[in-house]
Structure 1
Amino acid sequence: MTDRPRILRPSRRLLLGAALAAPALRAFPARAAGEVIVRTPGGTYDDVMRRHVYDPFTKETGIEVRPVAATSAKLLAMFRANNVELDLIDTGDGQLLTLERMGALAPIAYDKWRWSKPEDITAEVKNQYRVANFVYCTVLGYNKEHFAGGAPDSWADFWNAGKFPGPRMLSDMASGSANLEFALLADGVPKDKLYPLDVDRALKAMDRIRPQIRRFWDTGALSAQMLSDKEVVAGSIWNGRLQVLIDRKAPLAYTWNEHMIQVQALGIFKDAKNIAGAQLLADYMLQPEVQAKYSRDLIYGPTNTKAFPLLSEEERARAPGGERSRQTGFYQNVTWWEDNRDRVNRIWSRWLQR
């Protein structure tokens, strides 16, 4: 991609969020000299990145790294108010695509990388204005005890409540996107023919399984709790959330068949006060040795292909984006979702109220 992205008008959803978030622009404390401020998801994620990325980066470069929490609305509000207080943005690929289309991001300086090699980054997640630092996926998880006689191994199986009975869950739009892809797979659409999504067909398929859906989850924590508490016996769930429960000896499992690969990516504000430091940190974060360490702890998949050999066989087997994952799963088309999110939100809201 060589052309600068065209400037699009932001959606009403983002404009409203930006207006609500605008007063929060004064929330960040004063910036230290030689500091890179990074938007992150927070929580345990910050602990992992501090250990494997931020502190080693500071030791090597002398540049301090300060992670902060910021919603998508706040990121947009910063840019619109010409008051950018962040340098590097670590967030979902769709949110970065929205900012890219508004002209808010600087190109990733691949030609200046000194720790990572651009050619080693998986092609599907390497773009001019954003680059993935890991991938995760949504899988079909289930309770092994409930399905001791045979578990669902596809979304068609999940939709077959007669053969595989029990309460279920799927994601709500509030989680980022509804599981329309899985509805279409259950309805016979091949995974390489999913996009553009046939929303009407997906919702007709949803009609068939809706009586068995206990709840449409809106957070990863809720999906994990429902499956752990046996409120549901099967459903869509992020692999990292489920793997934590499995590692704690919960009687849960999942199939890699027809999982959806999703992307967490890095972007750099074009008006950032420390663009050079942000570019350096992105480069440092994506080198194979570093990626292998934080991917291992987060239970997600590296995007540098040279990181996979640094993982154990067991770690590679459960990492999204690897060889098996690419054969049995599919990448979510974030461009389609960002192009159609407002429309799908309206349709989904009406469908839920029926």
Structure 2
Amino acid sequence: MKGTIGQSKVSRRNFLVGAGTLLAAPYVLKGKALAAGQVVVRTPGGAYDDIMRKFVYDPFTAETGIQVVPVAATVSKLLAMFKANNVEIDLIDTGEGPLITLSRMGALAPIEYDKWTWSRPEDVAPEYRRPDTVANFVYSSVLAFNTETFPGDNHPKNWVDFWDAEKFPGPRMLTDMAAGSPSLEFALLAAGVKKEDLYPIDIDRAFKMLTELRPHIRKFWDSGAVSAQLLSDKEVVMGCIWNGRLQTIIEKGAPLNYVWDGNMIQVQALGIFKDSPNRAAAQRLVDFMTQPDVQAKYVAALRYGPTNLKAFDHISADLLEMMPGGPKSRELGFVQNTEWWEDNRDKVNRVWSRWILG
């Protein structure tokens, strides 16, 4: 499969828990804008805001008169805001994990699916819908390889091949705990576990597989930038990497490719603070953002994948084939079980901390 998704505009690092961005201020609009209403949105910031402004925020304002104010805030800031009963943000746009944490604290309002007018809830894939969150796009961790080291069809085609250092020799990379989660799912796929049986993760078995491959791992990467650099510099000849990071270096001429087999689909989602000052406006923005034609535009610009399956009807055929969460990605991959990770993160972190020093 050719790696021709297109350049990702946004770093996945911006979406990780604990990103060091402070709450932007001041952000309250005054005058006419305030009279028409507003919704304050927590976003990752940077280029992401530019894309969403063009394809979501400005069109939403043009249609409703409601101004959208993007601000950046860490997860700790969101938690502190809720605990202090001082909620200043309406809509939260972040990784699924932090939203699960907020949900368990009782911080989120139900998504009013029954009031949607622009979108149809049933068009959003069931695994992307929860009572108080809904995913707005997905990305994938894929198996990438160097095409000079592995020319033609002689390359690793799945995670079983990735673990076969005799058949496919060379230095490898996998994720560090600091990147969000270590590559336990890929280790189990290499052990022969079927993707539908990955959860609950057999932690001991996964770490046994990691131990087996560890002599061939050059680096456990902790950021998208590091993973891209390792592949670009040929310090490693294969490894897991976020699809957007990979595509950026492919378009710069790096001799790399990837396979969809065993790709792990990961989720960016929306949630609304139950004590939101502009809760009704936030509900309308979620509905607007999820409609197929709008979602198709911003995911194409981000080079990630939509969650409304009808959005694929608005995406070109060449992009459709290579889009995370698309037909091929969904057929050959699996959706990461974020609930399991939130339940077991501390346990895995303890095991990882001992194992990585061993």
The normalised TM-score by structure 1 is: 0.91
Q: Report the AA paired with residue 28 of structure 1.
A: A
Query: Take 2:340 and 2:307, find their aligned partners in 1: how far apart are those partners?
Result: 22
* 1:285 and 2:289 aligned: yes
In the TM superposition, what whole-angstrom CA distance separates every residue of 1:29-67 from its partner, at most 9, and x where no partner exists?
152222211111222211111111111111111211121
Q: In the TM superposition, what whole-angstrom CA distance separates every residue of 1:233-281 from its partner, at most 9, and x where no partner exists?
A: 1111111111222233321110000111111110000011111111111
Q: CA deviation at 1:212?
A: 1.4
CA shift for structure 1 position 100 = 0.4
CA distance in 2, matches of 1:36, 1:121: 23
Correspondence for 2:192: 188
Report what 1:126 is aligned to. Answer: 129
Q: Which amino acid aligns with 2:167?
A: K
Are 2:207 and 1:203 equivalent residues in the alignment?
yes
**Which residue number corresponds to residue 322 of structure 1?**
326
> Residue 174 in 1 paired to residue 178 in 2?
yes
The answer to whether the 8 Å contact 1:137/1:238 transfers is yes
Aligned with residue 95 of structure 2, among 92, 97, 100: 92
Match of 2:142 in 1: 139
Q: Deviations over 1:56-109 (max 9, x none)?
A: 111111211121211111111111111111111111111111110110000001
Distance 1:318 1:30 in 2: 38
Partner SS, residue 50 of structure 1 = helix
| Secondary structure of residue in 2 paired with 1:261 | strand
Q: Give a deviation string over 1:168-225, Cα, whole Å, max 9, x none.
A: 1111111111110001111111111111101111111001111111111111122112
Contact 1:28-1:85 at 8 Å conserved across structures: no
Partners of 2:69 and 2:224 in 1: how far apart? 25
Q: Which runs of 4+ in 1 moved over 6 A?
A: none
User: One-letter code of the match for 1:143?
Assistant: N
Asked if 1 retains the 8 angstrom alpha-carbon contact of 2:27 and 2:71, the reply is: no
- Structure-2 residue corresponding to 1:8: none
Work out whether residues 87 and 273 of structure 1, in 8 Å CA contact, stay in contact via their aligned partners in 2. Answer: yes
Q: Which runs of 5+ in 1 are unaligned?
A: 1-16
Secondary structure of the residue that 1:133 maps to in structure 2?
A: strand
TM-score, structure 2 length as denominator?
0.90
2:69 to 66, 70, 81: 66
Tell whether the 8 Å contact from 2:260 to 2:332 is kept in structure 1 after alignment.
Answer: yes
Pairing partner for 1:29 from 12, 18, 26 = 26
1:49 aligns with one of 52, 55, 58: 52
**Secondary structure, counterpart of 1:265 in structure 2:** strand
| Alignment of 1:76 onto 2:76 | no
Q: Which has the higher contact order (CA 8 A, sep 6+)?
A: 2
Partners of 2:171 and 2:218 within 8 A in 1: yes
Alignment match of 2:300 (pick from 296, 300, 310):
296
Specify the code of the residue in structure 1 equivalent to 2:224. G
Structure 2: state its 5+ residue gaps: 1-16
1:252 and 2:256 are equivalent in the alignment: yes
Is the Cα–Cα contact under 8 Å of residues 292 and 308 in structure 1 kept in the other structure? yes
CA shift, 1:28, in A, is 2.8
- 1:97 maps to a residue whose letter is I
1:61 partner amino acid: T
**Corresponding pairs, count:** 333
Alpha carbons 2:260, 2:333 under 8 Å: kept: yes
Cα distance in 2 for residues equivalent to 1:221 and 1:85? 32
Residue matched to 1:274: 278
Corresponding residue of 1:103? 106
| Residues 1:242 and 2:246 are matched in the alignment | yes
Aligned-residue sequence identity (percent) comes to: 64
Post-superposition Cα deviations, 1:122-174, rounded to whole Å, max 9, x if no partner, equal 11111110000011110001111111161111111111111111111111111
Please give the secondary structure, in 1, of the residue aligned with 2:40: strand
Residues of 2 paired with 1:204 and 1:61: CA distance? 55
Per the alignment, do residues 291 and 30 of structure 1 end up closer, same or farther by CA in structure 2, a change over 3 Å counting?
A: closer
User: Which sits farther off after the overlay, 327-336 or 41-50?
Assistant: 41-50
Distance in 1 between residues matched to 2:332 and 2:27, nearest whole Å: 48
**Distance in 1 between the 2:77 and 2:240 partners?**
29
